[in-house]
Amino acid sequence: MAFILETVVTTRNADGSHHLAPYGLIQDGEGYVIAPFHPSPAIENLRRRPFAAAAAPVDLRVIAGAVTGRRDWPTVACETIDLVRLADAFGHMELAVESVTEDALRPRFRCKVVHSASHLPFVGYNRAQAAIIEGAILSTRLDLLPREKIEAEMAYLRIAISKTAGPVEQEAWGWIEEKIRDGLGS
Ligand SMILES: Cc1cc2nc3c(=O)[nH]c(=O)nc-3n(C[C@H](O)[C@H](O)[C@H](O)COP(=O)(O)O)c2cc1C
């Protein structure tokens, strides 16, 4: 198994705007692999312009929002590549694609880290934030996973939310719950 970092990735769209979505960056030696499932604008973007920025969000509403139709989060310019990255980030990496492994389902873009920076001190872990990441991932797999598994995992994750969420995490969790409720028709 590889170590995977859950990040908010930005790439440049053909019209100059940016695409923002959470992706798990798979560690590969000194670099990382971005592996979006087809179809995704990120795939076309990385083919056309082989650069990405991957940020660690401070506010987990960015991750919950990006998978529930709320993708308009503030960005700032990257430092070494012509791209933007999520503004509200503990840190970020600027990535250049070195090679592509083609796959009909999930091409793999192997990236070199051309720059990385910390922006805020990281002062501790929070269970509700971890639960939001898990819940957000579940919400993107409603067609792939059995309903019972989704319901059981959400029930478990809800414990961490009820014990450790602040208002921001409660809002993020609410978006995920709503999407899953609608998706499962429950
Ligand atoms: C924490 C997290 C990690 C994710 N990692 C991936 C990934 O590695 N590959 C992928 O295709 N989707 C991943 N997803 C799901 C995508 O973010 C989601 O499907 C998103 O809507 C894709 O947007 P797009 O179709 O505009 O690319 C992840 C979601 C979350 C919440």
60, 53 Cβ separation under 8 angstroms = no
Residue 87's pLDDT band, with cuts at 50, 70 and 90, is very high
Q: Is 37 in the pocket of ligand 1 (CB under 6 A)?
A: yes
Give dist(CA 113, CA 123) in Å, integer.
24
Q: Which atom of ligand 1 lies nearest, measured to the CA of 36?
A: 11
DSSP annotation of 80: S
Q: Is 32 in the pocket of ligand 1 (CB under 6 A)?
A: no
Q: Which pLDDT does position 81 carry in this prediction?
A: 98
Nearest to 91, CA basis, from 114, 120, 62? 120
Q: Are 12 and 42 in contact (CB under 8 A)?
A: no
pLDDT digits (tens, 9 = 90+) for 92-145: 999 999 999 999 999 999 999 999 999 999 999 999 999 999 999 999 999 999
Give yes or no for residue 82 having a pLDDT over 90: yes
- The string of pLDDT tens digits covering residues 46-59 is 999 999 999 999 99
In the reported structure, the alpha carbon of residue 30 is separated from the centroid of ligand 1 by a whole-number distance in angstroms of 23
Q: What's the topology of domain 4-118?
A: Pnp Oxidase; Chain A (2.30.110)
- C-alpha span between 186 and 179 (Å, rounded): 10
**SS3 at position 19:** strand
- Tell me how far the alpha carbon of residue 125 lies from the centroid of ligand 1, in angstroms: 22
Say what the pLDDT of residue 93 is: 98
67 lines ligand 1 (CB under 6 A): yes
Q: Tally the residues of the chain.
A: 186
Domain boundaries, the chain: 4-118, 127-184
Closest ligand 1 atom to 22 CA: 17
Ligand 1: which residue has its CA nearest to atom 24? Answer: 40
Average pLDDT of the residues in 15-40: 98
| Residue 63 beta carbon below 6 angstroms from any ligand 1 atom | yes
Ligand 1 centre to CA of 21 (Å) is: 6
N-terminal to C-terminal alpha carbon distance within the chain: 35
Cα gap 52→64, rounded to integer Å: 20
Say what the pLDDT of residue 35 is. Answer: 98
pLDDT at 71: 96
Residue 186 has pLDDT above 90, yes or no: no
